[in-house]
Amino acid sequence: MSTSVSLTRDMYFPYARWRMLPLEATVLTDGFWSQRQSINRRITLQHGYQMLEKAGNFHNFRVAAGLADGHYRGPVFLDSDVYKWLEAVAYELHVHPNVELQQQADEVIALIEAAQQSDGYLNTHYQVVEHGQRWIDLDFGHELYCAGHLFQAAVAHHRATRSTKLLAVATRFADLLCNTFGPDKRQGACGHPEVETALVDLYRVTHRSAYLDLAKFFIDQRGKGVMRGMNWMKAEYHQDRVPVRQASEIEGHAVRAMYLNMGVTDLYLETGEEALLAAMQRQWQDLVSGKLLLTGGVGSRYEGESFGAPYELPADRCYCETCAAIGSLMWNWRMLLATGEGRFADLMERQLYNGILSGLAFDGWNFFYMNPLLSQGDYGRQPWQIVACCPPNIMRLLASLTQYLATQDNAGVQIHLYNTATIRAEPSIGRPIALNMQTDYPWQGRVQIGIQGADGSTWQLRLRVPEWCSQVIATINGQPIDIPRVEAGYLVVERAWQLGDVISLQLPMEPMLVEAHPRVDAVRGSLAIQRGPVVYCLEGVDHPGLNLMDIRLDETAPLQADWREDILPGGLMVIQATGQVVESADWQQRLYRRFSDDGVLRQSIPLIAVPYYAWANRGANAMRVWIPRIKTG
- Of 43 and 288, CB closest to a second copy: 288
Which member of 73, 234, 245, 317 binds a second copy (CB under 8 A)? 317
- Of 473 and 512, CB closest to a second copy: 512
Per DSSP, the residues of 129-181 read TSTT-TTTTTTT--HHHHHHHHHHHHHHHHHHH---HHHHHHHHHHHHHHHHB
Evaluate whether 223 touches 240 at the Cβ level (below 8 Å).
yes
By CB under 8 A, tell whether 519 contacts a second copy. yes
By CB under 8 A, tell whether 560 contacts a second copy. no
Q: Could you tell me which stretch among 219-227, 431-439, 474-482, 516-524 binds a second copy (CB under 8 A)?
A: 516-524
Integer Cα distance of 470 and 157 in angstroms? 42
Q: Could you tell me which stretch among 36-44, 302-310, 334-342, 412-420 binds a second copy (CB under 8 A)?
A: 302-310
Residues 330-369 that bind a second copy (CB under 8 A): none
Integer Cα distance of 169 and 154 in angstroms? 8
Residues 609-628 that bind a second copy (CB under 8 A): 626, 628
Integer Cα distance of 326 and 5 in angstroms? 27
Q: How far is the CB of 552 from a second copy (least distance, A)?
A: 9
In the set 87, 305, 349, 426, the catalytic residue is: 305
Q: How far is the CB of 597 from a second copy (least distance, A)?
A: 7
- Exposed/middle/buried for 612, CB within 10 Å: 0-12, 13-18, 19+? buried
Residues 189-248 that bind a second copy (CB under 8 A): 231-232
Q: Which residues contact 357 (CB under 8 A, 6 or more apart)?
A: 36, 613
Integer Cα distance of 418 and 466 in angstroms? 10
By CB under 8 A, tell whether 135 contacts a second copy. no
By CB under 8 A, tell whether 303 contacts a second copy. yes
By CB under 8 A, tell whether 601 contacts a second copy. no
Q: How far is the CB of 625 from a second copy (least distance, A)?
A: 11
Integer Cα distance of 61 and 72 in angstroms? 9
For the four alpha carbons of 65, 66, 68 and 70, in that order, the dihedral sign comes to positive
Integer Cα distance of 14 and 580 in angstroms? 57
Q: How far is the CB of 365 from a second copy (least distance, A)?
A: 21
By CB under 8 A, tell whether 510 contacts a second copy. no
Per DSSP, the residues of 123-135 read -HHHHHTSTT-TT
Catalytic residue flag (residue 389): yes
Query: Helix or strand or coil: residue 252?
Result: coil
- Of 216 and 464, CB closest to a second copy: 464
- Of 241 and 424, CB closest to a second copy: 241
By CB under 8 A, tell whether 631 contacts a second copy. yes
Which member of 582, 605, 608, 620 binds a second copy (CB under 8 A)? 582
Which member of 479, 597, 601, 603 binds a second copy (CB under 8 A)? 597
Which member of 30, 53, 521, 562 binds a second copy (CB under 8 A)? 521
Catalytic residue flag (residue 107): no
Centre a 10 Å sphere on the Cβ of residue 306 and count the other Cβ atoms it contains: 25
- Of 410 and 584, CB closest to a second copy: 584
Q: Kindly write out the interface string for residues 455-494 of this chain, putting x where it contacts a second copy by CB under 8 A and - elsewhere.
A: ---------------x------------------------
Per DSSP, the residues of 57-79 read HHHHHHHHTTSS-S---SSTTHH
Q: Which amino acid is at 571?
A: G
Query: Helix or strand or coil: residue 414?
Result: strand
Query: Helix or strand or coil: residue 184?
Result: coil
By CB under 8 A, tell whether 184 contacts a second copy. no
In the set 190, 320, 389, 537, the catalytic residue is: 389
Which member of 31, 148, 263, 314 binds a second copy (CB under 8 A)? 314
Per DSSP, the residues of 546-568 read --GGGEEE-TTS--EEEEESSSS
Q: How many CA atoms lie within 13 A of 487 on its CB side?
A: 10
By CB under 8 A, tell whether 605 contacts a second copy. no
Backbone angles phi, psi at 355, to 5 degrees: -70, -15
C-alpha gyration radius of the chain: 25
By CB under 8 A, tell whether 142 contacts a second copy. no
By CB under 8 A, tell whether 592 contacts a second copy. yes
Residue 489's nearest CA partner among 503, 468, 459 is 468
- Of 116 and 300, CB closest to a second copy: 300
Which member of 113, 213, 220, 312 binds a second copy (CB under 8 A)? 312
Integer Cα distance of 604 and 579 in angstroms? 6
Q: Could you tell me which stretch among 37-45, 194-202, 515-523, 537-545 binds a second copy (CB under 8 A)?
A: 515-523
Residues 259-298 that bind a second copy (CB under 8 A): 285, 288-290, 292, 294
Number of residues that bind a second copy (CB under 8 A): 63
- Of 486 and 568, CB closest to a second copy: 486
By CB under 8 A, tell whether 155 contacts a second copy. no
Q: How far is the CB of 329 from a second copy (least distance, A)?
A: 18
Which member of 114, 210, 481, 513 binds a second copy (CB under 8 A)? 513
DSSP-assigned letter for residue 382: B
Evaluate whether 535 touches 329 at the Cβ level (below 8 Å).
no
For the four alpha carbons of 553, 554, 558 and 562, in that order, the dihedral sign comes to negative
Evaluate whether 476 touches 519 at the Cβ level (below 8 Å).
no
By CB under 8 A, tell whether 512 contacts a second copy. yes
Which member of 234, 428, 555, 576 binds a second copy (CB under 8 A)? 555
Residues contributing to the site for a second copy (CB under 8 A) = 231-232, 285, 288-290, 292, 294, 301-303, 308-317, 374, 376, 378, 470, 512-528, 547, 549-550, 555, 582, 584, 587, 589-597, 626, 628, 631-633
Active site residues: 305, 389
